[in-house]
């Protein structure tokens, strides 16, 4: 059979050579691309090593704040010392951090933001687990910054409290700063009178919209107990609760933390008589007490302090300097709230139930007296104090002092108790005692002594049974809201009719 005729246009050798040439060109391009990727990886690795060395040098400077160089890591390329970032300057009093061990315990870092210390720690050690490992039992309550439910760990059977962070749908910034602060602060705190954060869990579908804090479950909140009690706490029980509250606040202040929303609904009580401070949504770190003097907001001592928002603390527990618009304050605002809680423990009702900021200020002046340059130096320099119309000087002079008003309102309170309460409710923030000074007060050393926690009465737990009813009480201020401008407020008539009031308990004898 004759073979098939070859086409005269076909050239197998030329086609093979052309295909081989294209294959070699493709291999050359791929090798060139691989070399570029390898060179880029080498550059990135070198940059990562450089950053790691820089971070190590920064950590060396942090742990060696006295400026004593152990090696050449603190020198730049020219052999000059690197510029050191400053921490809060040490003070001459006993509150300063004097030793290297205490600095390590406080875990200071060199980063500062507007004069406030930034603490290391608070970071989650491992990725967040799923909320599905917990079985929801019942809702407890919904507050201004989150929703709380009771749940059980499926693996251990332990009952916990789940707090879901409330997110603003219109806010495109992600997790709110209040939630981030609460996580960081609770991770840093470890005290028997501070609620414990066990972990942070997330939902499976949209984790950014479903972040929950796993907290230890505490049976009661103090507000609910006070509302349901037929009789107020005994004097020994009040001292037990107040001493634990002061211990927790003293710990927070020693860690440079302001709670800024202390109230009875944020104080939890378990069935073993142990009180715990909760709800750190408005808490934050602060610097030192050079910023606490709101009356000297224009003075040289407060010149370098950071300005904070005055729109903090629930209205009924808000200090007068915050109502007057102070933007530099410290731990004295928490101590005012402790004084309001002290009065509420005695009467089972909030001490100063103002309808708004102006009414709250009038109630404060009615109880504590009208401020003047002697009792509260420099208060007129506060923003909202410039337009206040106060009573004439004659009415102010004849008005009772805070101590006398406390005696009238709490006739069964001892002299030491009246002194402590009047000092906590001092208008001048510089006159209020610190939490440590409160713990050493004579009130706690007098009879009746504080009742032992094991002997504290127990109460049925509403949180373990049903959803808590919403109470007709003010909520904490919303973040980002505008602070109230009091404007011109007339307080000239707050002492009208005082001359007809009885000044306290007593009796009279009639001769027959």
CATH 1.10.510.10 residue ranges for the chain = 220-496
Q: Under a CB-based contact definition with an 8 Å cutoff, are residues 137 and 159 in contact?
A: yes
- Just list the catalytic residues: 261
**Helices 235-254 and 332-347, interaxial angle, to 10°?**
160
First vs last Cα of the chain: how many Å apart?
160
Distance of CA 487 to the CA centre of its chain: 29
Q: What is the pLDDT along the chain (512 residues), one digit of tens a residue?
A: 455 555 555 567 778 888 888 888 888 888 888 888 877 877 777 777 777 767 666 665 554 444 433 344 444 444 444 444 444 444 444 444 444 445 445 444 434 444 444 545 555 566 788 888 898 888 877 655 567 888 999 999 999 999 988 776 666 667 777 888 889 999 999 999 999 999 998 876 655 567 889 999 998 889 989 988 888 899 999 999 999 999 999 999 999 999 999 999 999 999 888 999 999 989 999 876 444 444 444 433 333 446 888 999 999 999 999 999 999 999 999 999 999 999 999 999 999 999 999 999 999 998 998 888 888 998 889 988 887 887 776 455 545 677 888 998 999 999 999 999 999 999 999 999 999 999 999 999 999 999 998 888 887 776 655 444 455 667 677 665 666 666 666 666 565 555 554 444 444 455 54
Q: Which fold has domain 220-496?
A: Transferase(Phosphotransferase); domain 1 (1.10.510)
Burial of 502 (0-12, 13-18, 19+ CB in 10 A): exposed
Farthest CA pair distance, the chain: 160
Residues of the chain with CATH 3.30.200.20: 129-215
CATH match for 129-215 among 3.40.50.9100, 3.40.50.720, 3.30.200.20, 3.20.20.140: 3.30.200.20
- The DSSP secondary structure of 396-413, one letter per residue, reads HHHSPPHHHHHHHH-TTS
């Amino acid at each position: 059979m004759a073979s098939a005729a070859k086409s005269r246009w076909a050239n197998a050798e030329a086609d093979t050579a052309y295909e081989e040439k294209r294959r070699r060109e493709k291999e050359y391009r791929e090798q060139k691309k691989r070399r570029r990727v390898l060179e880029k990886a080498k550059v990135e690795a070198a940059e990562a090593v450089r950053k790691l060395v820089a971070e190590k040098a920064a950590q060396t400077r942090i742990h060696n704040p006295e400026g004593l160089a152990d090696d050449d890591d603190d020198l730049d390329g020219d052999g000059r010392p690197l510029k050191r970032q400053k921490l809060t300057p040490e003070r001459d009093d006993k509150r300063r951090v004097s030793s290297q061990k205490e600095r390590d315990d406080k875990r200071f870092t060199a980063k500062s933001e507007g004069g406030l210390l930034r603490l290391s720690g608070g970071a989650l050690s491992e990725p967040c687990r799923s909320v599905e490992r917990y079985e929801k039992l019942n809702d407890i309550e919904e507050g201004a910054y989150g929703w709380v439910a009771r749940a059980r760990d499926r693996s251990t059977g332990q009952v916990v409290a789940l707090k879901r962070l409330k997110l603003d749908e219109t806010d495109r910034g992600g997790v709110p700063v209040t939630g981030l602060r609460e996580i960081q602060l609770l991770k840093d705190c470890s005290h028997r009178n501070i609620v414990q954060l066990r972990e942070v869990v997330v939902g499976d579908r949209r984790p950014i919209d479903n972040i929950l804090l796993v907290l230890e479950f505490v049976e009661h909140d103090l507000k609910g107990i006070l509302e349901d009690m037929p009789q107020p706490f005994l004097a020994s029980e009040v001292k037990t609760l107040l001493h634990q509250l002061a211990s927790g606040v003293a710990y927070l202040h020693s860690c440079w933390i302001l709670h800024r929303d202390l109230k009875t609904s944020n104080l939890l009580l378990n069935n073993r008589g142990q009180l715990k401070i909760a709800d750190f949504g408005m808490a934050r770190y602060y610097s030192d007490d050079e910023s606490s003097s709101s009356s000297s907001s224009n003075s040289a001592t407060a010149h370098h302090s950071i300005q904070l928002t005055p729109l903090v603390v629930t209205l009924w527990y808000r200090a007068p300097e915050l109502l007057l618009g102070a933007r530099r304050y410290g731990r004295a605002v928490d101590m005012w709230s402790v004084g309001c809680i002290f009065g509420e423990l005695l009467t089972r009702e909030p001490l100063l139930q103002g309808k708004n900021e102006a009414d709250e200020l009038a109630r404060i002046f009615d109880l504590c007296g009208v401020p003047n340059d002697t009792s509260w130096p420099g208060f007129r320099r506060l923003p909202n104090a410039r337009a206040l119309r106060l009573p004439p000087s004659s009415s102010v002079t004849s008005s009772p002092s805070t101590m006398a008003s406390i005696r009238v309102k709490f006739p069964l309170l001892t002299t030491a108790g009246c002194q402590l309460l009047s000092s906590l409710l001092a208008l001048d923030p510089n006159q209020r005692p610190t939490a440590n000074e409160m713990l050493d007060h004579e009130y706690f050393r007098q009879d009746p002594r504080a009742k032992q926690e094991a002997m504290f009465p127990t109460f049925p737990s509403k949180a373990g049974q049903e959803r808590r009813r919403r109470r007709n009480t003010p909520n904490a201020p919303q973040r980002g809201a505008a602070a109230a401008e009091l404007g011109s407020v007339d307080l000239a008539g707050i002492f009208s009719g005082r001359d007809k009031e009885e000044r306290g308990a007593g009796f009279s004898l009639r001769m027959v």
